[in-house]
Amino acid sequence: MPMAYIESIFDRELKKGSAELLILSLVEHRPRHGYEISKLIEERSEGVLRFNVASLYPLLYRLERRGWVDGRWVEKAGQRRRRYYRLTTEGKKVLAAQRHTWREFVIAIERVTGLEHA
Partner 1 sequence: MPDWNKEIRSRLAHLRLEPAREAEIVEELSQHLEDLYEEKLIEGSSEEEALQAALGELSGERQLANELRVTESQVIREPVVLGAGRVNMIADLWQDLLYGFRVLLRQPVTSIIAVLTLALGIGANTAIFSVINGLLLRPLPYPKSEQVMKISQVDSKGQKMNFSDANFDDISAGATSFEAMAQYSPRTFSLSGGSEPVRAPGATVTSGFFKTLGVAPIMGRAIQPEEDRAGSAPVIVVSYNFWQRYLGGASDLSAKTLTFYDQPHQVIGVMPQGFSFPAGVEFWISRSLSPKLPSRTAHNWQVIGRLKDGASLEQARLEATTVARLMKREQGDKSWMEDVAIVPLQEEMTARVRPALMILMGAVVFLLLIACANVVNLLLAQAAARQKEVSVRLALGATRGRMIRQFLTESLLLVFLGAGLGLLLAWWGIDTLLAFEPGNLPRTGDVGLDYRVMLFAGLISLLTASLLGFITAWRSTSQNLNETLKATSRSQLGGSTGRGTRNLLVIAQFAMTLILLTGAGLMARSLISLLSVDPGFRTEKSVVMYLSHTFPDNEAARVRLVNFHEQLRERLRAIPGVEDVGGVNSFPLSGAQNNGTFLIMQPNENITALSDFERLSRDPQRTGHADYRIADEGYFKTMGIPLLRGRLFNSTDGPDTQHVAVISESLAAKRWPGEDPLGKLIQFGNMDGNLKLFTIVGIVGDVREYGLDAEPRPTFYGYFKQRPFSSYSVVLHGSADETAVIPAARNALRQLDANLPPRFRTVNEVVSASIADRRFNLLLLGAFAGTALLLAVIGIYGVTSYSVTLRTQEIGVRMALGALPGNIFRMIMLEGLVLASLGVVIGLIGAFVLTRLIVSMLFGVPPHDPLTFALVASLLVAIALTACYFPARRATKVDPLIALRYE
Q: How far is CA 1 from CA 14, 15, 98, in A?
A: 19, 21, 32
Choice between 5 and 73, CB closer to partner 1: 73
Give the nearest distance from C-beta 74 to partner 1 in angstroms.
Answer: 12
Query: Within a 13 Å sphere around the CA of 13, how many CA atoms are in the beta-carbon half?
Result: 6
Give the nearest distance from C-beta 97 to partner 1 in angstroms.
Answer: 22
Choice between 35 and 105, CB closer to partner 1: 35
Residues 31 and 64: their CA atoms lie apart, in Å, by 13
Task: Write the DSSP string, 14-67.
Answer: HHHHHHHHHHHHHTSSS-EEHHHHHHHHHHHTTTS----HHHHHHHHHHHHHHT
Choice between 83 and 99, CB closer to partner 1: 83
Give the nearest distance from C-beta 62 to partner 1 in angstroms.
Answer: 5
Give the nearest distance from C-beta 61 to partner 1 in angstroms.
Answer: 5
Choice between 34 and 91, CB closer to partner 1: 34
Under the rule (CB under 8 A), what is the footprint of partner 1? 33-35, 38, 52-55, 57-59, 61-62, 65, 80, 82-83
